[in-house]
A and B are shown apart, each in its own frame.
Chain A
Amino acid sequence: MSDPVISCTDVHKWFGNFEALKGVDMQVEKGEVIVIFGPSGSGKSTFIRTLNRLEEHQQGTIIIDGIELTHDVRNIAAIRSEIGMVFQQFNLFPHLSVLQNVTLAPIWVRKWPKEKAEEVAVQLLERVGIPEQAQKYPGQLSGGQQQRVAIARALAMQPKIMLFDEPTSALDPEMIKEVLDVMIGLAKTGMTMLVVTHEMGFARAVADRMYFFDEGLVIESGSPDDIFKSPQEDRTKLFLSQILTH
């Protein structure tokens, strides 16, 4: 079997004296869809943010696609351009149009000519279902549309890995589906995805493996079948019962 795309060993992260990650190990193969869930403050967001160095881990090793994340700025830049990220609050650039949001990084980081970047951007906007909004500004779109633009923006860099940090938590209920549909479609194309979410329907549909985080540690991991049908740990059972019953 080939080397894992993401290989994390004993990752620690402190915020001041608070230890947010207490030694996380994770290996992700190419094309896998990983769902990470757990109570708030469990370190799941912090963990995926260490993967593209939005947070700096202080101990342990993270190797992405054969490159180790160190202080070397060039390594960080190389890794970031291979990883797309979608945020809870969309974080679109409000002063740029939808099209400019999507073409920004390809033009400035990949150095594509503008025409090529726009061509790709229009295709991506079609893929996420909002080609007609290209000239609008983020503030004129609904939350669901904004999040789909954010996905298109991340995909425009043609990343090998996509990180989703609670992509539907800030959305009104009726908009969650449109975003999840895009994500499911993406998962079916064979994209390597790490998704922090509590959308268990999504996990059941496309996840290859699930990780349950609590207090900075991976408490339990396994296939969706294992996790939903026969969770081993009490904390996993308790948490699942809390989010699945309401």
Chain B
Amino acid sequence: MAQARPTSGKPPVISIGFVAWLRENLFSSLANTLLTLGSLAILYFAGRSFLTWAFTQANWGAVTGNLKVLTWGRYPEAQVWRLGVSLLILIVLGVITWRVWRGEPSTSRRIVLLGWAISPVVLTILIRGVTLPTPATIANNLGYYLFRPDVLPLLEQSWRGTSAMIWVGLLLGLTRGMIESRRARLAALIASAAALLFLLPLGLQIEPWIFGLKIPFLIPLLVNLLLATLIGQAAGHSLANVGGVQGALPWLWGLSVPLLLILLTTFDVGVASVAPVEALPIVEPNIWSGIMLTLVLAVVSIVASFPIGVLLALGRRSKLPVVRWVCILFIEVVRGVPLITILFMAQVMLPLFLPLELSIDRVVRAMAGMTLFTAAYLAEIVRGGLQAVHQEQVEAAHALGLSEILVTGLIVLPQALRAVIPPIMGQFVSMFKDTSLVAIVGLLDLLAVGQSVIKQREYLGAVREIYLFAGLFYFVVSYAMSTASRRLEIQLGVVES
């Protein structure tokens, strides 16, 4: 009689005992037995001396006694809660993103993206602090601006007028390029003319800064306005068919009223009676230190370098020769220079290129350096992903009538980025560890703080303890990042789970 076969499609599960496992994996032959015994001996001796040191000789007080210094350094202790809240915001945002992206695409994705878009502002305000102007300061500054514009260059505030001018020009250009209705374009023109008239007193005082030549005061202003309008118009033309962008235009115009007000009224004229309110006490970046600085550098560089890297990669494949060559030049120059050189350049050379009135904090300069460095590497990784997307995909999308921007955003980039998650995450992990290089240009990251701890008299010999602690911290964060990357790949179906 034929035996009944089990009908379930599952393969049989083979279970073996512990001893059988040992025999199969560690003692299967004479050579393997010898190797196993040898390795055990090495592990025993190394482990024993390490454990002896760790439990009897090590002075862990160097770590535990300095935990606060190592973690948030010189950040005022009464304000440390702000760091906690910032970390919490990041974690919550991360978890929500993860959950939303698992499900079907929906409007909640837009909300999450909006959350990420405004998070830099919120986190900066939280970590650095914010002063709010009182109504009196606003009135006072507006008064200065309208009636004593000659004071502004003395206060080194004329860049505000330039920025306002560029903003108005961009909006005007965008409207001209995007909107075909004559009435809307006329309204934009009138709004810009009103803004221009309002800005004119400031314009009269702007320091001419075209190649340092002394040029009649209004010319640089008008050049800025004209350039911004042209750029805006070109952008408007190419964005005209993208869904949702046109709808954002009225919001941008609406936004420009508070923006211009902030731009033109928030400077400090040093009148004590109308001093601004410190809503969150300012903690200048130059006293950020320890793990906190390491994490801030890493998060900022990761978040900021990603879009820049993607844009560079797209720019490198652009059909416009100027865009392509600028991107290639940037990528190749940055990749041809060691990170430490870029950090030094950011500290020493950057001030040479920027207008005098813009003095940027050293921490921010380090962030900019790391961001640009990472962006160049990311650009090459993303370009690899772009090349992996077949031309047929682009053709199919074109045949459906999708515009160039939509093809890139909906078809090419999603596929390209999916293909390069592992190298991108690898780059981020490597960038995270490279933040330790900022110690060389004098910033007090975890490693630099650790080195200063070692120099304290009571912990003079605690070199190993401190470096072990730092190493453990870097390992835990890096490992968490690569685990997240692996789960992301599984999530997106790049690899089988």
Are B402 and A105 within 8 A (Cβ)? Answer: yes
Given contacts A93-B393, A111-B243, contact A80 B399 (CB under 8 A): yes
**What are the interface flags for A98-130 relative to B under an 8 Å C-beta threshold, 1 for contact and 0 otherwise?**
001000110111010000000000000000000
B107, chain A: closest CB distance, angstroms: 9
Check A85 for interface membership: any CB of B closer than 8 A: yes
Are A109 and B402 within 8 A (Cβ)? Answer: yes
**Contact residue range for chain B?**
20 to 34
Are A157 and B392 within 8 A (Cβ)? Answer: no
Are B393 and A108 within 8 A (Cβ)? Answer: no
A64, chain B: closest CB distance, angstroms: 13
* Interface residue SS majority, chain B: helix
Are B395 and A95 within 8 A (Cβ)? Answer: no
**Shortest Cβ distance from B492 into A: residue:** A95
Are B393 and A80 within 8 A (Cβ)? Answer: no
**What are the interface flags for A27-63 relative to B under an 8 Å C-beta threshold, 1 for contact and 0 otherwise?**
0000000000000000000000000111000000000
Check A87 for interface membership: any CB of B closer than 8 A: yes
Given contacts A89-B392, A95-B415, A95-B418, contact A108 B243 (CB under 8 A): yes
Alpha-carbon distance A94/B399, docked complex (angstroms)? 17
Are A81 and B401 within 8 A (Cβ)? Answer: yes
A52, chain B: closest CB distance, angstroms: 6
Alpha-carbon distance A70/B404, docked complex (angstroms)? 17
**Contact residue range for chain A?**
20 to 34
Check B148 for interface membership: any CB of A closer than 8 A: no
**Shortest Cβ distance from B106 into A: residue:** A114
**What are the interface flags for B403-420 relative to A under an 8 Å C-beta threshold, 1 for contact and 0 otherwise?**
100100011001100100
A40, chain B: closest CB distance, angstroms: 18
Are A93 and B399 within 8 A (Cβ)? Answer: no
Check A67 for interface membership: any CB of B closer than 8 A: no
**Shortest Cβ distance from A111 into B: residue:** B243
* Cross-chain contact of A91 among B105, B396, B406 (Cβ < 8 A): B396
- Name the B residues within 8 Å of A137 (CB-CB): 493
Given contacts A95-B414, A104-B410, contact A54 B401 (CB under 8 A): no
Alpha-carbon distance A77/B117, docked complex (angstroms)? 31
* Cross-chain contact of B411 among A77, A93, A153, A157 (Cβ < 8 A): A93
**Shortest Cβ distance from B406 into A: residue:** A108
Shortest beta-carbon contacts, A-B, top 6: A81-B401, A91-B396, A105-B400, A85-B399, A80-B401, A109-B401
Q: Which residues of B contact A (CB under 8 A)?
A: 105, 241, 243, 392-393, 395-403, 406, 410-411, 414-415, 418, 493
Query: Can you list 30 residue pairs at the A/B interface with Cβ under 8 Å?
Result: A52-B399, A53-B398, A54-B395, A77-B241, A77-B403, A80-B398, A83-B399, A84-B399, A84-B400, A85-B399, A87-B392, A87-B395, A87-B396, A87-B399, A89-B392, A91-B396, A93-B396, A93-B397, A93-B411, A93-B415, A95-B418, A104-B402, A108-B243, A108-B406, A109-B400, A109-B401, A109-B402, A137-B493, A154-B399, A157-B401
Extra A-B contacts (19), CB below 8 Å, given A54-B399, A77-B241, A85-B396: A52-B398, A54-B395, A54-B398, A80-B398, A80-B400, A80-B401, A85-B399, A87-B396, A89-B392, A91-B393, A91-B396, A95-B418, A105-B402, A108-B243, A108-B402, A108-B410, A111-B243, A137-B493, A153-B400
